[in-house]
Amino acid sequence: MRTYKILDLFAGGGGFSTGFLNASHSHAKFEVTKAVEIDDDACNTLISHLGEDKVLKGDITCPLIKKEIVAECKEVDVIIGGPPCQTFSLIGPARSGKREVQDSLKNDSRNTLYRHFFDLVSEIKPRFVVFENVEGLLSKRFEDGLTEKEKMAIEVISEQLEDLGYFTRTIDGQGSGFKTLNSLDYGVSQKRRRVIIIANRHGIYNPIPLKKDLTKEVPTLLSTIGELPVLLPQINTNGMEKLKKIDVVLKNLDKCILSFLNNINELDRIYKNRPEINNEQFRLLKNYLNDSYLVTKNRKHNGLEFLKGFCEDYNKLAKQFNSSSEIPCNMTLHQSRKHNFRDVVIFSMMKQGSTSSGFMNQNSQDFDLLLDQLYPYDKNKHTDTYVKHSWDKPSNTILAHMQKDGLKFIHPNQPRTFTPYEAALIQSFPKNYDFCGGANSQYRQIGNAVPPLMSEAIAQGILMTLLNYDLEISK
């Protein structure tokens, strides 16, 4: 069997290399020679999957690190990576042309990693290069295609590869040397668009990643995370007195607890056959919410101390309930981040597929007066802060921003946001793929990753091209 070697630069949590390792043929496969990464937690993640000898922790701008990479990777066939690149923010005003873009790429300090990526390509001279995730292509303009300036910047990158002796055209004869890919087309239950540039030293047309046949089944959240154990959030009571809209919460506490209770009752109905629902812990929790609602309903005034006590008692019951949640990973967290009570209420009241811009719009069918009153942000600046996903649709793009908050990733029917484990599955990582580090680090690694299924489609095309080329020249 032929083994083609890869060098993974800016490897992160290993999404790109995972896809390449999963690409298969009876006569050929890929093998990682080195995965280079600077982040400690991401390196530990890579080591847990690739082995310590395959992982190099370091900064590729350091001459010693670069020298070590070149020395150990002279024989690699493919370099893959997505160097951070400020190309699009550097394009400038309308008068900017290709020369300005070229100068920005070469001379701007923010493109240091980009330049060192190409330095390594120049020194190692792999047979193929895959350049992924050109920063700046995350705007809504992407839905309508690339702007002329964006195409110009990508053409500059392609031309620099051509100057190094690489052929960038794809098999359809496209001259600009890039493809815009949507991970949804490759079986990932997520809308995620990226630019991919594939180039080779053999002067042959580059493969186009083969899309999956989705006529029978489109990947949805239900098919991806629907079978996971039910999980409930802990409620943060720290600084509750300073919580925005706490006055609205306390004024409507009976309605707020009722909305939470209704959500729990709905889980009871939907998951009535699940073992975690048919146990004593869930019954105690549901009864506690019901009793608390009756208390608040029959009281004229419900103060802050009562709400704190309610949340603390709930947290104890939720902790006992969640203890039965098991997943196939030892380190990846299937634990909900703590949420404040206001947000738990908002999550509970929102409809599947709705957003805060809808529940604040009086002309929308999703409008809700209490939700409108509970919204804690500046309505003149932020209206789509909360996004509740739907079971029958794919997720929005999983972002590294989830390390800060997950309000755009609210679970379809559980009053919380996605866990790191759910985010990893949505990114198409294997069920037993472990991420190291705390929750924030895991969210960052997962959000920055190339979805393995999309990477596998890229790798499969390159694997077949390499194999066919080698077989042809050996005749």
* Sign of the alpha-carbon dihedral angle for 245, 247, 252, 253: positive
pLDDT band at 473 (very low <50, low <70, confident <90, very high): confident
pLDDT at 140 over 60: no
Residue 431 clears pLDDT 60, i.e. is over it: yes
Decide: 231 and 414 in contact? Cβ < 8 Å.
yes
Q: Which of 43, 73, 85, 329 is catalytic?
A: 85
Residue type, 221: L
Whether residue 284 has pLDDT greater than 60: yes
In angstroms, the CA 315 to CA 407 distance is: 21
The pTM of this model reads 0.92
Higher pLDDT pick, 214 / 64: 64
Q: Read off the pLDDT of residues 316-354 as tens digits, 9 standing for 90 and up.
A: 999 999 987 788 888 899 999 999 999 999 999 999 999
217 burial via Cβ count (<10 Å: 0-12, 13-18, 19+): exposed
Best CA proximity match to 43, nearest among 27, 54, 30, 33:
54
Domain boundaries, the chain: 2-218+450-473, 229-326+336-418
Phi and psi dihedrals of 68, rounded to 5? -65, -40
Provide mean pLDDT across the span 158-170.
Answer: 90
Answer whether residue 374 shows pLDDT above 90: yes
The rounded percent of the chain whose pLDDT value lies above 70 is 88
pLDDT in the model for residue 138: 42
| Mean pLDDT of the residues in the chain | 89
Which CATH number does 2-218+450-473 carry? 3.40.50.150
Q: Which two tokens stand for residue 193?
A: 């668009």
Average pLDDT in the 366-373 region? 96
Q: How many CB atoms lie within 10 A of CB 211?
A: 13
Task: Give the number of other Cβ atoms within 10 Å of residue 264's Cβ.
Answer: 21
Q: pLDDT at position 101, please?
A: 60
Q: Quick one: pLDDT at residue 243?
A: 96
The per-residue pLDDT for range 219-260, each reduced to its tens digit, is 999 999 999 999 999 999 999 999 999 999 999 999 999 999
- Distance between CA atoms of 268 and 277, rounded to whole angstroms? 6
Q: Minimal CA–CA distance to 366: which of 380, 349, 383, 343?
A: 349
Model pLDDT for residues 231-240, shown as the tens digit of each residue: 999 999 999 9
Query: Of all residues in the chain, what percent carry a pLDDT higher than 90?
Result: 72
Q: How far apart (Å, rounded) are the C-alpha atoms in residues 56 and 192?
A: 28
Angle between helical axes of 98-107 and 112-124 (0-180°, round to 10): 90
In this prediction, residue 216 carries a pLDDT of: 79
Between helices 112-124 and 148-163, what is the axis angle to 10°? 30
**Tens digit of each residue's pLDDT (9 = 90 or more) over 189-208:** 998 888 889 999 999 999 99
Known catalytic residue at 256: no
Q: What is the mean pLDDT of residues 362-377?
A: 95
| 141 pLDDT tier (thresholds 50, 70, 90) | very low
Is 167 in a helix, a strand, or coil?
strand
Whether the CB-CB separation of 319 and 311 falls below 8 Å is answered with no
Q: How far apart are CA 294 and CA 105, in angstroms?
A: 64
Q: Indicate if the pLDDT at residue 445 is higher than 60.
A: yes
Q: Grade residue 94 by pLDDT with cuts at 50, 70 and 90.
A: very low
Mean pLDDT of 399-406: 91
- The predicted-structure confidence for 6-62, as pLDDT tens digits, reads as follows 999 999 999 999 999 999 899 999 999 999 999 999 999 999 999 999 999 999 999
In the prediction, which pLDDT does 93 show? 45
C-beta neighbour count of 100 within 10 angstroms:
16
- Which residue's entry shows tokens 């937690």? 41
Lowest mean pLDDT: which of 165-174, 257-266, 430-439? 165-174
For residues 209 and 460, the answer to whether their CB atoms sit within 8 Å is yes
pLDDT of 170 reads 87
Residue 95: pLDDT band with limits 50, 70, 90: very low
Measured distance CA(188)–CA(156) in Å, rounded: 30
Maximum CA extent, the chain: 89
| Residue 170 burial (C-beta neighbours within 10 Å; 0-12, 13-18, 19+) | buried
Per-residue model confidence (pLDDT) at position 139: 45
